[in-house]
A and B are shown apart, each in its own frame.
Chain A
Amino acid sequence: MVQLAQVVQEEVDSNMTKPIIEINHLSKSYELGGETVHALQEVSLQINEGDFLSIIGPSGSGKSTFMNMLGCLDKPDTGEYLLDGKNVTTMKDHELAVIRNVKIGFIFQNFNLLNKYTALENVELPLVYRGISVKERRDTAIECLEMVGLGDRQYHLPTQLSGGQQQRVAIARALAGNPSVLLADEPTGALDSKTGKEVLKLLKELNEKGHIIILITHDLEVARKAKRVVRIQDGQLFENGGDWLEPAGIRQNGH
């Protein structure tokens, strides 16, 4: 039976685009003020190569928890998370660190750059932890900064850059490790709409270059830029198949 399931799965794999991320029946709950919060309940999701996925949901819906799961920062209580075919849920801390370093690039709402480091040093940081030689990582970092259009801001500190520029440095940092997945948590949340649009455009370009983009947002306008939209509400995930404008429709079509 198990064997059969495997064969079927393999057939499915060969027919479809290969799933990079495969999440099966993932659940997570935590204690908050003496109450158990079921942040994620039996969530399943497949993300394929070349996907540009946005995850929307109101605050408290569990989307931050889900993002932490996707980013290998947190471990689920039950369920399975396969990243590139490897089961992440059973990995040890130091293995997860490697995964975060190699497979995933984080882009945060508030940029999360190190303020005492220059733009270049910030971008280099993932490569420092990977143990890449000084010369090589410098070249890669410069390349990434140029890709986001900040080739001339290498030696600026984050405080000397505008919000949009800081976010682009953060994107460059996420790109430096050449990860397969870029995980963007409200990347436009702290930006005005014009720079926000620029950042989204940049993400779209990156998606066209082959990176998987996972965009977490509560802004429908932003989410609409993605190829796929999934919605999280009360710890449950719904995929709407494009008809995301009407929440009622999501419920009918999802799951």
Chain B
Amino acid sequence: MNLLESVKMAIKSIKSNKLRAFLTMLGIIIGISSVITLVAVGQGSSQSVTEEIGSLGTNLLTLSVTDTESVQLNLDQLEHFDDLSGISEVAPISSERVMAKKGDNSIQVSITGTTSPYLSIRDLSLSAGRFISDIENELRQKIVVLGSDTASTLFPNTNPIGENIQINGVSFKVVGVLESVGSSLGTSGDNVIIAPLSTTQRVTKNTTINTLYLSAENEEMINRAKFQVQGVMTTLFPNSSDSYAVSSQDDLMETMSSVTDTMTLMLGGIASISLLVGGIGVMNIMLVSVSERTKEIGIRKAIGANRKSILLQFLIEAVVLSMIGGLIGVVSGLGIAKLIGIFSSLSISFSPSVTILAFVFSFAIGIIFGVFPANKASKLNPIQALRQE
């Protein structure tokens, strides 16, 4: 008796009890499709986060000061960073929430006081006008560059270039508007005002520099540059290493991806449990099937089926059952994930390896949970099996 024959026999017997077969498969279908859907959602969000971080530029280093009391950076100290061999540009940031106003339109925004390298370090571009220059910073010019959302809120119908806006009651001239960058990690990059550092510090009455953006010479230098920056900080502010942190985009990416990976793993784990439950369902039905078909097994044995053929028959039945379930599960999982991608803001990323793995898993479930009932069937005593009604 060959394998093809056994498969035909299995399909025949599954066909003869379609409703039961479907209900048995349902566990596997739900399990497989939830694994695929949840992993697609998890990986989709992980991928979109990675892409966002990557879009910020991979040679960006961020020095964030967490305790501005013990670490007070000033402009003169920035030269130490600029002199480092691994660093090409430095942009200090002093940011604060302010009220911006133009006529009847007003908006709460974050003002970013910085210097001219900011534009290139953050990889931003202008849609109109120009960026702030070093000389304007030195001369404390009251000029601003608006983020695209800020510009459209304050100037719904007019060109903002050359116009004046009020920030905390002080008049600033708009010299440029940034290209939209979209929202990143929950904060909108378009809802900003960028002004010279000196002017900002005066308007907000705050001289702290809470962030430094540094750009490494190139991607390969990023780790060296990071150590150099840490070295400078240790010299400038000894014994206060807890008050600041230097991180590269890689670090951020690692943190984020470890978070999303954990999430994916958890979702996958939950789905796998439902797959396991589905497998137990298959075993349950196969056991019922064996005891229901005791007589059939007896007849088959009487006309010459050996233990192996009976074992194979029931095993293949379980495998076919769970593989059909797996196949339906894969298709419906991909379908559901696709629908989620279309009808919600979640991004979806299909993983071929997880899809194949899920399918192979359904095969394995068929074998694992089919062996016990099949073995039970094959061991039946033909005389007793025949006697049963």
Once A73-B382, A74-B383 are accepted as A-B contacts, the answer to whether A116 and B13 lie under 8 Å apart by CB is yes
Asked whether any CB of chain A lies closer than 8 Å to the CB of B301, the reply is: yes
| Of B303, B307, B383, the contact of A125 (CB 8 Å cutoff) | B303
Asked whether any CB of chain B lies closer than 8 Å to the CB of A228, the reply is: no
Q: Are B12 and A116 in contact (CB under 8 A)?
A: yes
A117 to chain B, nearest CB (A): 8
Q: Are A125 and B302 in contact (CB under 8 A)?
A: no
Q: Are B383 and A98 in contact (CB under 8 A)?
A: no
| Of A74, A129, A173, the contact of B305 (CB 8 Å cutoff) | A129
Give the contact stretch, choosing among A3-11, A80-88, A99-107, A218-226: A99-107
Asked whether any CB of chain B lies closer than 8 Å to the CB of A190, the reply is: no
Q: Are B304 and A101 in contact (CB under 8 A)?
A: yes
A residues in contact with B307, CB < 8 Å: 93-94, 97
Q: Are A97 and B383 in contact (CB under 8 A)?
A: no
Flag A51-78 by CB within 8 Å of B: 1 or 0 each: 0000000000000000010010110000
Residue among B2, B5, B382 facing the most chain A CB atoms (10 A cut-off): B382
Main SS class of interface, B: helix
CA distance A13 to B85 in the complex (A): 108
Q: Are B304 and A73 in contact (CB under 8 A)?
A: no
CA distance A130 to B1 in the complex (A): 6
Q: Are A114 and B304 in contact (CB under 8 A)?
A: no
| Of A71, A74, A112, the contact of B299 (CB 8 Å cutoff) | A112
Q: Are B304 and A130 in contact (CB under 8 A)?
A: yes
Q: Are A126 and B304 in contact (CB under 8 A)?
A: yes
Once A73-B383, A74-B383, A131-B2 are accepted as A-B contacts, the answer to whether A126 and B308 lie under 8 Å apart by CB is no
| Of B1, B304, B305, the contact of A177 (CB 8 Å cutoff) | B304
Q: Are B1 and A128 in contact (CB under 8 A)?
A: yes
CA distance A100 to B382 in the complex (A): 12
- Which residues between 247 and 300 of chain B lie within 8 Å of chain A, taking CB atoms? 295-296, 298-300
Q: Are B306 and A125 in contact (CB under 8 A)?
A: no
- Which residues between 306 and 333 of chain B lie within 8 Å of chain A, taking CB atoms? 306-309
A residues in contact with B49, CB < 8 Å: none
How many A residues, CB 8 Å from partner?
Answer: 25
CA distance A73 to B300 in the complex (A): 12
Size class of the contact patch on chain B: 20 to 34
B residues in contact with A114, CB < 8 Å: 296, 299
Once A112-B386, A114-B296, A116-B16 are accepted as A-B contacts, the answer to whether A97 and B301 lie under 8 Å apart by CB is yes
CA distance A18 to B13 in the complex (A): 44
Q: Are A131 and B1 in contact (CB under 8 A)?
A: yes
Q: Are A100 and B303 in contact (CB under 8 A)?
A: yes
B residues in contact with A106, CB < 8 Å: 302-303
A68 to chain B, nearest CB (A): 5
Q: Are A129 and B309 in contact (CB under 8 A)?
A: yes
Once A112-B295, A114-B299 are accepted as A-B contacts, the answer to whether A100 and B12 lie under 8 Å apart by CB is no
A131 to chain B, nearest CB (A): 6
B residues in contact with A116, CB < 8 Å: 12-13, 16
CA distance A101 to B309 in the complex (A): 13
CA distance A94 to B5 in the complex (A): 19
A177 to chain B, nearest CB (A): 7
B5 to chain A, nearest CB (A): 6
Chain B residue at minimum C-beta to C-beta distance from A95: B306
Flag B1-41 by CB within 8 Å of A: 1 or 0 each: 11001000000110010000000000000000000000000
Q: Are B5 and A128 in contact (CB under 8 A)?
A: yes
CA distance A36 to B208 in the complex (A): 101
Q: Are A100 and B13 in contact (CB under 8 A)?
A: no
- Could you list which residues of chain A lie within 8 angstroms of chain B, going by C-beta atoms? 68, 71, 73-74, 93-94, 97-98, 100-102, 106, 108, 112-114, 116, 125-126, 128-131, 173, 177
- Could you list which residues of chain B lie within 8 angstroms of chain A, going by C-beta atoms? 1-2, 5, 12-13, 16, 295-296, 298-309, 382-383, 386
Q: A112-B298, A129-B1 are in contact. List 13 more A-B contacts (CB 8 A).
A: A73-B301, A73-B382, A73-B386, A97-B305, A98-B306, A101-B303, A106-B303, A116-B12, A128-B5, A129-B303, A129-B305, A131-B1, A177-B303
List 5 interface pairs A-B (beta carbons < 8 Å), by A numbering.
A93-B306, A97-B301, A100-B304, A114-B299, A130-B304
